[in-house]
Amino acid sequence: MKKVELVEAVAKKTGLTKADATRALDATLEVVTKALVKGDKVPLVGFGTFGVSKRAAREGRNPQTGATVKIPARKAVTFKAGSALKEAVNK
């Protein structure tokens, strides 16, 4: 599902205009992004939890040359699905 399709579905489900649904979706994504940047978790009960994990620096290999490459430490976004979402997907 693309963003346009998601906006249309939200607009239809809520009775909002597509413009209002777009603003609501954009605002939601912005708030979630800002919380993750601060290092906060974002739990959405029944849906899942967004979070940030730290990945340590490590050595990898260039698959073309076989040369060793240093991969720097970084943060990664994580998502753990909630039980209601898992049940809905597995029906």
pLDDT digits (tens, 9 = 90+) for 34-78: 999 999 999 999 999 999 999 999 999 999 999 999 999 999 999
d(CA 27, CA 25): 5
Asked whether the CA dihedral 30, 31, 35, 38 is positive or negative, the reply is positive
pLDDT tier for residue 16 given thresholds of 50, 70 and 90: very high
Taking the CA atoms of residue 76, residue 81, residue 82 and residue 87 in that order, the dihedral angle to the nearest 10 degrees is: 180
Structure tokens at 33: 């992004």
pTM here?
Answer: 0.80
